[in-house]
A and B are shown apart, each in its own frame.
Chain A
Amino acid sequence: MAEEIAIKVDHVSKDFILPHEKTSSIKSIFTNAAKKRNGKKETQHALKDISFEIKKGEFFGIVGRNGSGKSTLLKILAGIYQPTNGTVKTEGKLVPFIELGVGFNPELTGRENVYLNGAMLGFSENEVANMYEDIVNFAELDRFMDQKLKNYSSGMQVRLAFSMATKAKADILLIDEVLAVGDADFQRKCFNYFKQLKNDKTTVVFVTHDMSAVREYCDRALLIEESKVVHISTPDKIAQDYVKMFMDEPVLQEVSKKNDDRWGDGSIILESIKTKVNDEFIELDVVIKGNKDFSMPILGFRICSFAGDEITGTNTKKEKIILPNIKKGATVHLKCKIPNILSDGNYRIDTALQYPDEITVADWWDNAATISIRKDRHLPYSIDPGFIISII
Chain B
Amino acid sequence: MNKFLQRYRYSIILLKQLVKTDFKLRYQGSALGYAWSLLRPLFIFIILYVVFGVFLKAKGNIPHYPVYLLLGIVLWNYFTEVTVGGVGAIVGKGDLLRKINFPKYVLILAGSSSALINLFLNFIIIAFFMFITHVAVSWAAIIMAPLILELFIFSIACAFFLSALYVKFRDVSYIWEVAVQGAFYSTPILYPLSLIPVAAAKILILNPMAQIIQDARYVLVTKNTQTIHNLYGGDNWIWCIPIGITIVTAILAASYFRKQSKYFAEEV
Listed in ascending order, the chain A residues whose CB lies under 8 Å from chain B are 16, 22-27, 29, 75, 78-82, 96-99, 102-103, 105, 107-108, 112, 115-116, 118-120, 122-125
Hey, which chain A residues are within 8 Å of B170, CB to CB? 24-25
List, in ascending order, chain A residues with CB within 8 A of B20's CB: 115
CB within 8 A of A119: which of B17, B97, B266?
Answer: B17
- 6 closest cross-chain pairs (CB), A and B: A119-B17, A79-B101, A96-B101, A97-B100, A102-B100, A26-B171
Q: What chain B residues lie within 8 Å of A27 (beta carbons)?
A: 171
Residue contact A24 to B14, C-beta cutoff 8 Å: no
Interface stretch among B21-29, B46-54, B176-184? B21-29
Nearest chain A CB to B266 CB, angstrom units: 6
- Complex Cα–Cα for A79 and B170 (A): 25
Alpha-carbon separation in the docked complex, A81 to B155 (Å)? 29
Task: Provide the B159-177 mask, 1 if CB < 8 A to any CB of A, else 0.
Answer: 0000000001111000000
**Is the Cβ of A108 less than 8 Å from the Cβ of B96?**
no
Q: How far is the CA of A125 from the CA of B12 in the complex (A)?
A: 11
Identify the closest chain B residue to A99 (Cβ): B99
- Give a binary string over B204-227; 1 marks a CB under 8 Å from any A CB, 0 the rest: 000000000000000000000000
**Contact between A96 and B100, CB atoms less than 8 A apart:** yes
* Besides the known contacts A24-B169, A80-B265, 12 further A-B residue pairs in the complex with CB atoms under 8 A apart: A29-B169, A78-B100, A96-B101, A103-B96, A107-B28, A108-B25, A112-B21, A120-B17, A122-B9, A123-B13, A124-B9, A125-B17
Partner pick for A82 among B10, B21, B102, B262, CB 8 A cutoff? B262
**What are 24 pairs between A and B in contact, CB < 8 Å?**
A22-B267, A23-B169, A26-B171, A27-B171, A78-B100, A78-B101, A79-B101, A80-B265, A81-B265, A81-B266, A96-B101, A96-B102, A97-B99, A97-B100, A97-B101, A102-B96, A105-B25, A107-B25, A119-B13, A119-B14, A119-B18, A120-B102, A122-B13, A125-B17
In the bound complex, residues from chain B placing their C-beta under 8 Å from that of A82 are 262-263
Across the interface, do B266 and A16 meet the contact criterion of CB distance under 8 Å?
yes
User: Is B57 interfacial (CB 8 A cutoff)?
Assistant: no
Interface of A, helix, strand, loop or mixed by DSSP: loop
Docked-complex contact B100 and A120, CB < 8 angstroms: yes
Please tell me which one of the listed residues B18, B99, B171 contacts residue A80 in the complex, with CB atoms under 8 A apart: B99
**Distance A124 CA – B5 CA, assembled complex (angstroms):** 12
Contact B101 A108 (CB under 8 A): no
Residue of A nearest to B262 (CB): A82
The residues of B that contact A102 with a CB separation of less than 8 Å are 96, 99-100
A123 (CB) vs chain B CBs: closest residue: B13
